[in-house]
């Protein structure tokens, strides 16, 4: 269980009390818990399904599978986007089998029923052979709520859930100055992985693992606890501000003032001489803010103008309930989600997008899989461990997932024993418990 207090900084404005529910292995390994999530969680939350830019003309669609469910989002004649369950009202055949496409009509591959982009049945074989007469114009695909935030398309299977922007609060407001609307998805990867979807959710809800799993980040991100700000919101989402362009207080160079690599290269990229900062490397962060303000617009970073100093150099890591992570830097946004496997609670599907602002003249951009063209990326799906990277830092996160899943299957594991800074992990599971109406709630006070 999480301790009541600690050295980490939870914002006084955005801190929340916890119950101390026990986090046992059941939720990571049992089919019964997975089925409760299928029944009570996934249909009642907003889920990221696509990007607005994927829908260029009427009839363009994106399919999104989630566990056993499948939804299609379709561009309408009035440029809006509607979503439908991906099932044919005739006898239930799945309508769309590919990830993305476009057509004037949605045609079922079984008996050829056809639907217009607004989901209305417009053509059947043998229309006179129905007891009630021709069903065209009377039957529709089953609709799902669909709303957009900036460049993103979300869907929700429940009619009682709040509208998307209220659901996401306060993050649309907190992220608006990055100007995400016209950003381009230059990396789109997914992978089957051998662990429950919540393992990576937990991982993204804490930074306690950074010194061990991502030690190289300590040369460019200050992951020291006193310098990291955590926030938890009533909506169930969380965030963390980490100081960027500064070595970690855990890294020897922070004390010595030596300029570590790659911070030296970043300084040079903004016309700063690392030698000027020897003995005071922490000052590079402020100097880069000034350099970005001065040089950014002429280098094509027109989005810098609205950003705060903090946004110009730091990392804003947002974990949205239940399964979405958005990590912001001014030049790149990483979006990661984990989704349940259709039948196996000990597997999941990991998704990793990178979106970047369009910068005039820039032909290539560096991503977690190396340099890629500055253009919309194709989706690449793999099986984690087959040698294809899902992004350098994400590879490190996923590398621990399988071994944690194995350990959670041990008779020797009791329940999680959390630090104070892992409060967001605790919060995630308590909210999850509220959804699945679990009987495992432990109301003991935090110790
Ligand atoms: Fe779709 Fe028959 S199941 S047309």
- 130/198 same-domain check: no
Residue 277 lies in a domain: no
- 54/126 same-domain check: yes
- 191/324 same-domain check: yes
Residue 290 lies in a domain: no
Q: How confident is the model at residue 447, as a pLDDT?
A: 28
332-367 pLDDT tens trace? 999 999 999 999 999 999 999 999 999 999 999 999
Stated pTM of the model: 0.93
Give Cα 218 to chain centroid, integer Å: 23
Comparing CA positions, the residue from 421, 424, 426 lying closest to residue 319 is: 424
Give residue 400's domain range.
2-43+171-245+314-441
Residue 255 has pLDDT above 70, yes or no: yes
- 26/68 same-domain check: no
- 427/405 same-domain check: yes
Cβ–ligand 1 contact at 107 (below 6 Å): no
263-285 pLDDT tens trace? 999 999 999 999 999 889 889 99
Residue 239 lies in a domain: yes
Q: How far apart are CA 5 and CA 1, in angstroms?
A: 12
Q: Which tokens belong to 20?
A: 């101390």
Domain count, the chain: 2
Cis peptide, bond prior to residue 315, ω within 30 of zero:
no
Q: How confident is the model at residue 372, as a pLDDT?
A: 97
Site to probe by mutation for ligand 1, drawn from 72, 84, 90 as the one with most ligand atoms within 8 Å of Cβ, is 90
Instruction: State which of 136, 160, 184 marks the end of a domain.
Output: 160
State the chain's mean pLDDT as an integer.
Answer: 92
CATH number, domain at 156?
Answer: 2.102.10.10
Residue 429 lies in a domain: yes
- 94/142 same-domain check: yes
Query: Ligand 1 centre from 289 Cα, in Å?
Result: 59
DSSP state letter for 193:
E
- 14/124 same-domain check: no
Q: How far apart are CA 414 and CA 429, in angstroms?
A: 16
Instruction: State which of 133, 160, 187 marks the end of a domain.
Output: 160
Ligand 1 atom closest to the Cα of residue 111 is 4
Specify burial of residue 432 (Cβ count, 10 A radius: 0-12, 13-18, 19+).
Answer: buried
Cβ–ligand 1 contact at 123 (below 6 Å): no
Residue 194 lies in a domain: yes
Cβ–ligand 1 contact at 108 (below 6 Å): yes
* Phi then psi dihedrals of residue 394, to 5 deg: -65, -35
Give Cα 273 to chain centroid, integer Å: 36
131-166 pLDDT tens trace? 999 999 999 999 999 999 999 999 999 999 999 999
Residue 431 lies in a domain: yes
- 221/185 same-domain check: yes
- 381/338 same-domain check: yes
Ligand 1 atom closest to the Cα of residue 113 is 4
Query: Ligand 1 centre from 114 Cα, in Å?
Result: 9
- 71/32 same-domain check: no
Site to probe by mutation for ligand 1, drawn from 93, 106, 119 as the one with most ligand atoms within 8 Å of Cβ, is 93
Instruction: State which of 93, 128, 160 marks the end of a domain.
Output: 160
Query: Ligand 1 centre from 192 Cα, in Å?
Result: 30
- 70/203 same-domain check: no
Comparing CA positions, the residue from 237, 444, 446, 218 lying closest to residue 322 is: 237
- 185/214 same-domain check: yes
Residue 90 lies in a domain: yes
Residues 6 or more apart in contact with residue 288 via CB below 8 angstroms: 245, 266, 267, 270, 272, 312, 313
Residue 144 lies in a domain: yes
Q: How confident is the model at residue 257, as a pLDDT?
A: 82
Please tell me the residue having the least CA distance from ligand 1 atom 4. 111
Ligand 1 atom closest to the Cα of residue 112 is 4
CATH number, domain at 337?
Answer: 3.90.380.10
Comparing CA positions, the residue from 19, 139, 106 lying closest to residue 443 is: 19
């Amino acid at each position: 269980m999480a301790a009541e207090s600690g050295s980490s900084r939870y914002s006084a404005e955005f801190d929340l009390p916890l119950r101390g529910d026990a986090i046992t292995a059941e939720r990571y390994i049992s089919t019964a818990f997975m089925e409760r999530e299928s029944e009570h969680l996934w249909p009642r939350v907003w889920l990221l399904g696509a990007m607005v830019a994927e829908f260029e003309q009427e009839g363009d669609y994106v399919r999104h599978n989630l566990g056993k469910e499948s939804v299609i989002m379709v561009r309408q004649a009035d440029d809006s986007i509607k979503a439908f369950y991906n099932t044919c009202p005739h006898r239930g055949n799945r309508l769309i089998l590919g990830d993305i496409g476009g057509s004037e009509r949605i045609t079922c591959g079984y008996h050829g029923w056809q639907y217009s982009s607004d989901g209305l049945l417009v053509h059947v074989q043998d229309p006179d052979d129905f007891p009630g007469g021709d069903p065209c114009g009377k039957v529709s695909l089953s609709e799902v709520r669909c709303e957009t935030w900036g460049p993103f398309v979300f869907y929700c299977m429940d009619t009682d859930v709040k509208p998307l922007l209220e659901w996401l609060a306060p993050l649309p407001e907190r992220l608006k100055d990055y100007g995400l609307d016209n950003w381009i998805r230059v990396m789109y990867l997914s992978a089957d992985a051998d662990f429950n979807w919540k393992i990576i959710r937990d991982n993204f809800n804490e930074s306690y693992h950074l010194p061990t799993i991502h030690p190289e980040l300590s040369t460019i991100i200050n992951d020291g606890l006193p310098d990291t700000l955590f926030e938890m919101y009533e909506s169930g989402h969380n965030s963390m501000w980490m100081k960027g362009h500064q070595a970690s207080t855990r890294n020897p160079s922070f004390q010595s003032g030596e300029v570590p690599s790659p911070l030296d290269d970043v300084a040079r990229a903004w016309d700063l001489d690392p030698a000027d900062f020897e003995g005071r490397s922490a000052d590079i962060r402020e100097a880069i803010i000034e350099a970005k303000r001065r040089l950014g617009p002429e280098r094509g970073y027109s989005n810098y103008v609205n950003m705060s100093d903090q946004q110009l150099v730091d990392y804003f890591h947002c974990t949205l309930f239940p399964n979405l992570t958005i990590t912001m830097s001014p030049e790149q946004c990483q979006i990661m989600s984990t989704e349940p496997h259709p039948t196996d609670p000990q597997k999941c599907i990991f998704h990793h997008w990178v979106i970047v602002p369009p910068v005039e003249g820039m032909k290539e951009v560096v991503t977690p899989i190396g340099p890629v063209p500055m253009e919309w990326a194709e989706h690449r799906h793999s099986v984690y461990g087959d040698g294809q990277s899902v992004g350098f830092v994400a590879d490190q996160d996923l590398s621990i997932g399988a071994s944690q899943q194995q350990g959670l299957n041990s008779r020797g594991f009791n329940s999680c024993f959390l630090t104070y800074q892992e409060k967001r992990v605790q919060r995630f599971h308590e909210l999850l418990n509220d959804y699945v109406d679990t009987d495992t709630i432990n109301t003991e006070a935090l110790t």
